[in-house]
Structure 1
Amino acid sequence: MVCSFRRYLWLRSNHQLISKNWQPKIFKMSASVISRELSLKQKCLEIFRTAINSVLPQNIIKNNISMEGNRLLIKNQSFPIHNNVHVAGFGKAVMGMAAAVEQILGDHLVQGVISVPLGIQKVLRLAGKEEMLLRPQTKIQVQEGAQHNLPDDNALKAAKRIHHLAEGLTENDLLLVLISGGGSALLPAPIPPVTLEEKLYLTKQLASKGATIQELNTVRKSLSLLKGGGLARAAYPAQVVSLILSDIIGDNLEFIASGPTLPNLQSKEDSCKILSKYNLVSSMPENVKEVLSQPSTRMHQEEIQDYAHVFNFIVGSNAIALEEAKCKSESLGYITSILSTGVSGDVTTVARLFSLLIRYVCSVLAVHGSQCAQASSLKDEMLQIIGSLQLPDFRLDSCLENALSSGKPLCLLAGGETTVQLRGRGKGGRNQEMALRVAVELHQAKSMTPHDPFAKHEIVFLSGGTDGQDGPTEAAGGFAYTEMVENAFREGLNVEDFLNNNDSFTFFSKFNKGADLIMTGLTSTNVMDVQAIIIQPKET
């Protein structure tokens, strides 16, 4: 999820290709003709691109916000406005969100400040994405910072400007807050007299001692001027409306940019207990001790303790992207199911789950739904892994029953964010490694059984990052299929060697002339990852 100018540089030599090719293709023919014309990989890619398109910054704004006279309509809520809207934003996707908001609000927009990644405006111009840039005579100030996704002085300046804007608002104003992934690093203002360096030092010390992400967030919020509800407090008594693009499993708003418009459920006493747990009380800076010794900040009036002046809307998420992908898949003729939006854990384990799933589906379809011993065994192992990964929302059987009764092919969708254990020094990302590990699992399944378990079906697996950047590479992810490992051996490529070195990008670049890499270019959005599996009978 690193978002920095260094990772954007590759676009300079590819921006013309990307700007022309990354968007979902627009076909003038009917869906049935599309389905016949496209290959299985192309269909899978169209489904993935549709998922991304649904959560592009300009689309999530236009799909959720409109004007009706002097009323701002957001989902099922209406807010009266009259030349009194102020904008604050922070995150990797906020540049495009702000451009769309500016267009919708018109003269109702008074002023704004947004904090965005270093170099983003230049990169968007290079990629030909002018629609994601503000107008020349914009009323919104743009501050770039957080190089390498780390808080820095530029991000601190932006946070202070946002704080100053919020403090100047009255009960007659509306503050529209734009939030996306990466917002925490772009909104780093600590509570004085704590310095940014002191806050970073303390959080690094906690991380080095094994503190959980929840513990780190608790301490960070206690020392933050704007996180943990600080922005909403600063803006009171103005109306605060947040539009949020979620890159967090479960869409827990508390963890998106550390919840600047949500009540802080943790106290400074909680932070002190965490610091004591890791033996950091004696070594923490004096300024930190001073801030943590102060009473926890509370709203001034009892009746607004519940943040009644704040409305938070999730306008983009992995679930939203998968629902749009499902619609696209169904238009292509597939029985489609969203398996889970919370797939997480080690990529090796998750790849094993997806390979078992493919084998299970093929086994059930091959025997027309009868409970053969092989299918039962595969399902038992799947359920064990689902339990270990804690995926309570994982679902499959109803989709499989529909496929059996209708005879239609299947498309299975999932989303989330996995992790990779680094053992080598190669180049790749979690999605490319996922695809390659699924390919190995499918190859081993073929090798271990007397009869090819996939003989009756065509299968394609896709894993891709919606931000278009899978690890430190220009790829979004990769494809897998049952013949991949065998074909790679014929090209002199040993897949296991690449996996042992975490070098999936190098493998995909060498194999099949790079045709199994997914190249979207920078998308300027991020709702984690998407997996798609297409299983359809072979033509006889």
Structure 2
Amino acid sequence: MPDWTDAQARALLRSLFDEAVRVARPEAMLAAHLPPPPEGGRTLVLGAGKAGGAMVAALEAAWPAEAPLSGLVVTRYGHTPPGWAEHPHRVELVEAAHPVPDAAGQRAAERMLALTQGLTERDLVICLVSGGGSALLSLPMPGLTLADKQAVNRALLASGAPIGAMNTVRKHLSAIKGGRLAAACAPARVLSLLISDVPGDEPSVIASGPTVPDPSTCAEALALLDRHGIVLPAVALEALRSGAWETPKPGDACFARAEARVIAAPRQSLEAAAALARQQGLAVHVLSDEIEGESSEVGRVHAALARACRRHGQPFARPCLILSGGETTVTLPLPGSGQAPGRGGRATEFLLGTALALQGEPGIWALAGDTDGIDGVEDNAGAWVTPDTLARAAVAGVSAAEHLQRHDAYGFFGALGDLLVTGPTMTNVNDFRALLVV
């Protein structure tokens, strides 16, 4: 068994992350899902998400030049494709804030609803939906303000609630999500092309499902808010209790001509990375693309599995690669607790838990990153763990345990020079985690 150097291990893991991102980029697959232009009608493009810019660029490149095309897509600040502004485009692309919505996102949502006015059965609406779209399409229900939505969003992000639960709440407070955009587009044909960033790839959860039926209820949204101690304005409480803000449900006539296709998903990216690793002679084990839970705890479980492989050859013989995806969470201190959280996101907090559990176990390297290139709200995609992570931290006077306690994984890995910085990748299929055991 050849010895692995640190440089070789890092290079392998980085190549796997890059491959996972590559196969999820819109230019790799979007054109194959486009229908022909409608006869006698127009094509309207609407969209929201971190991949929105790359998706609309791929659509425009593939759409016939002579066929009518117009519309509006909103993406996150800094996620407009390079060179976009240098050429004229048929579909407008704007930017807004994520993960906490801002006025630019609200204006984009208002304009999208306005663009749906006058659609007929002859028309086609192509909706480009990807992760991040829920925050980017922020249109409060009547009686709510943007400040109300921002407060709820911040509380949800700090609560540790899984993405499905957060989006149940978001849908019922929104005038455009939870199927309401599809209702506004009827009677036109609606084709939604989705890049999934959620465990299970459920269309109604991706970006809070603006164009698909919503099986969740006002009562469920209220229960989730109560469970996490999140306070709503009186107008919202009354509307949820009465069911006045219920979303369109499966079987509603507004979805009669609506179709949703998931064109990129976490599992595809994990399998692409696995195939690349197998080409290099490694045994690969994909645990799941649907792993959820507290980030540091999930890291400890991954570490225990990797340690067992190295010490006992069970459940997997080494050398091997362990892959997983999904969306973990980080539960932050409650306001007023006196504890100010540090910097970092799901991927780096996962790795901090991993490093603490490994305790310098030799022969194990790990990389974790968010495939959109942004871990939380920071400038890194993720970070690395190496066999000497804790030893180097001790020399640098940095405590992994203290950084985890204050949720400052960014500060920990930044001090070691181990942050993974890619910039925006223009796609988003959620967390990518890889552990090499040799």
The TM-score normalised by the length of structure 1 is: 0.68
**In the alignment, is the contact (CA less than 8 A) between 2:41 and 2:124 conserved in 1?**
no
Q: Distance in 2 between matches of 1:174 and 1:499?
A: 49
Residues 165 and 323 (structure 1), Cα distance of their counterparts in 2 relative to 1, 3 Å cut:
same
Does structure 1 residue 184 correspond to structure 2 residue 134?
yes
C-alpha change, 1:291 and 1:102, in structure 2 (3 Å) is farther
CA drift at 1:266: 4.5
Flag the 1:358–1:226 CA change in 2: closer, same or farther, 3 A. same
Q: 2:297 aligns with which of 349, 364, 370?
A: 349
Structure 1 residue 99: Cα displacement: 0.8
- The equivalences for 1:389-404 within 5 A come to 397=315, 400=316
Indicate the residue corresponding to 1:449 in structure 2.
none
After TM superposition, give the deviation of residue 468 of structure 1 in Å. Answer: 1.7
Cα deviation, residue 333, structure 1:
1.6
1:101 aligns with 2:59: yes
CA distance in 1, matches of 2:242, 2:147: 13
1:232 Cα shift?
1.4
From the superposition, tell whether residues 223 and 292 of structure 1 become closer, same or farther in structure 2 (CA, over 3 Å).
farther
Q: Does 1:65 align with 2:33?
A: yes
| Cα deviations by residue, 1:513-538 (Å, 9 ceiling, x for unpaired) | x2x332212212222211111223xx
- The Cα offsets for residues 289-348 of structure 1, whole Å up to 9 and x where unpaired, read as 59967596779xx99738231111111222121111111111222111211112222233
Larger deviation, residues 286-295 vs 149-158: 286-295
Q: Summarize the Cα distance change of 1:175–1:349 in structure 2 as closer, same or farther, 3 Å threshold.
A: same
What is the CA distance between 1:257 and its match in structure 2?
A: 2.1
Alignment correspondent of 1:144: 95
CA 1:305 to 1:529, structure 2 compared with 1: closer, same or farther past 3 Å?
Answer: same
Give the Å deviation of 1:54: 1.4
Using the TM superposition, give the Cα deviation of residue 206 of structure 1 relative to its aligned residue in structure 2, in angstroms.
8.9
Match of 1:175 in 2: 125
TM-score normalised according to structure 2 size: 0.82
Per the alignment, in what secondary structure is the counterpart of residue 177 of structure 1? strand
SS in 2 for 1:184: helix
5+ long unaligned stretches in structure 1: 1-34, 73-78, 366-374, 376-396, 447-453
With 419-428 and 196-205 compared, the bigger mean Cα shift is at 196-205
Higher share in helix: 1
Contact 1:424/1:501 (CA < 8 Å) preserved in 2? yes
Aligned equivalents of 1:42 and 1:211: distance in 2?
33
TM-align CA RMSD: 4.0
SS in 2 for 1:49: helix
3-state secondary structure, aligned to 2:352: helix
* Distance in structure 2 (CA, Å) of the matches to 1:211 and 1:507: 21
Equivalent of 2:48 in 83, 90, 100: 90
Q: 2:325 aligns with which of 412, 415, 422?
A: 415
Matches within 5 A, 1:119-518: 120-121=79-80, 124=81, 129-130=82-83, 133=84, 136-145=87-96, 147-191=97-141, 193-197=142-146, 200=149, 203=152, 217-218=167-168, 220-266=170-216, 284-285=234-235, 289=239, 305=253, 307-365=255-313, 397=315, 400=316, 409-422=319-332, 425-443=341-359, 454=362, 458-511=363-416, 514=417, 516-518=418-420
Alpha-carbon distance in 2 for matches of 1:494, 1:524 = 34
8 Å contact from structure 1 (residues 98, 134) kept in 2: no
Shift of 1:421: 4.6
SS in 1 for 2:27: helix
Q: Check the 8 A contact 2:382/2:419 in 1, yes or no.
A: yes
- Provide the C-alpha distance between the structure 2 equivalents of 1:36 and 1:266, rounded to a whole number of angstroms: 50
Query: Structure 1 pair 177/421, CA: closer, same or farther in 2 (3 Å)?
Result: closer
For residues 165 and 476 of structure 1, do their structure 2 counterparts lie closer, same or farther at Cα, with a shift above 3 Å needed?
Answer: same
| Distance of aligned partners of 1:36 and 1:168 in 2 relative to their CA distance in 1, 3 Å threshold | farther
2:18 pairs with one of 33, 49, 54: 49
**Partners of 2:104 and 2:272 in 1: how far apart?**
37
Kindly indicate whether the alpha-carbon contact (under 8 Å) linking 1:44 and 1:462 is maintained by their aligned counterparts in 2.
yes
On the 8 A contact 1:183/1:257 being kept in 2, the answer is yes
Q: Distance in 2 between matches of 1:306 and 1:504?
A: 45
Query: Structure 2 residue aligned with 1:530, among 425, 432, 435?
Result: 432
**Residue-by-residue CA offset, 1:98-127 (whole Å, 9 max, x unaligned):** 011011013334211112234544xx4xxx
Q: Secondary structure at the match of 2:263?
A: strand
- Contact kept in structure 2, 1:424 and 1:500, CA below 8 Å: no
**Contact 1:87 1:176 (8 Å CA) reproduced:** yes
Looking at structure 2, the residues matched to 45 and 274 of structure 1 have their Cα atoms a distance apart, in angstroms, of 38
- CA contact under 8 A between 2:292 and 2:329: conserved in structure 1? yes
Cα distance in 2 between the residues matched to 1:356 and 1:106: 53
Structure 1 stretches (4+) deviating beyond 4 angstroms?
Answer: 35-38, 79-83, 201-208, 210-220, 266-283, 286-299, 421-425, 490-494
Give CA-to-partner distance per residue, 1:372-413, whole Å, 9 cap, x none: xxx6xxxxxxxxxxxxxxxxxxxxx5xx3xx5xxxx731111
Alignment partner of 1:428: what SS? coil
Task: Give the direction of change, closer, same or farther, for the CA distance of 1:244–1:134 in structure 2 (3 Å limit).
Answer: farther
Quick one: distance in 2 between partners of 1:286 and 1:489? 50
8 Å CA contact 1:415, 1:530 repeated in 2 = yes
Give 2:335's aligned residue.
Answer: none
CA displacement, residues 417-471 of structure 1 (integer Å, 9 cap, x when unaligned): 2233556654333322332332332226x5xxxxxxx5xxx32211112122224
Deviation at 1:349, TM superposition (A): 1.6
Give secondary structure in 2 for the equivalent of 1:341.
coil
Farther-moved stretch of structure 1 (470-479 vs 242-251): 470-479
Separation (CA, whole Å) in 2 of partners of 1:517 and 1:279:
34
Q: How far apart in 2 are the matches of 1:282 and 1:426?
A: 27
- Alignment-mate amino acid for residue 379 of structure 2: E
